Amino acid sequence: MVIGSEYFRRQAATLLSFAKTTTNPSMAAALVERAAQFKSQVDNIVAPQDRSPLAPHTEHDMPLAPDFDSRD
């Protein structure tokens, strides 16, 4: 089983929520620090490559279709 980025995001959000509700400043600081660690784990996870069958967006030197003026 592989732990994904969504897991780390949920954990960080939960810890930040707890940090907002506690009245203990040292506990709040520890929770925020741990949430930051989860966030860094999310940043370190490599995003899966897009395997869609569509070609990537490309720029064209000339328009694909001529411009038509509806007034003609």
- Kindly state the average pLDDT of the residues 28-47: 85
| Angle, CA of 27, 14 and 46, to the nearest 5° | 115
pLDDT of residue 18: 95
- 50-62 confidence digits (pLDDT tens): 566 666 666 656 5
The better pLDDT of the pair 23, 45 is held by: 23
Q: What phi and psi values does residue 30 have, to the nearest 5 degrees?
A: -65, -40
* Predicted structure pTM score: 0.57
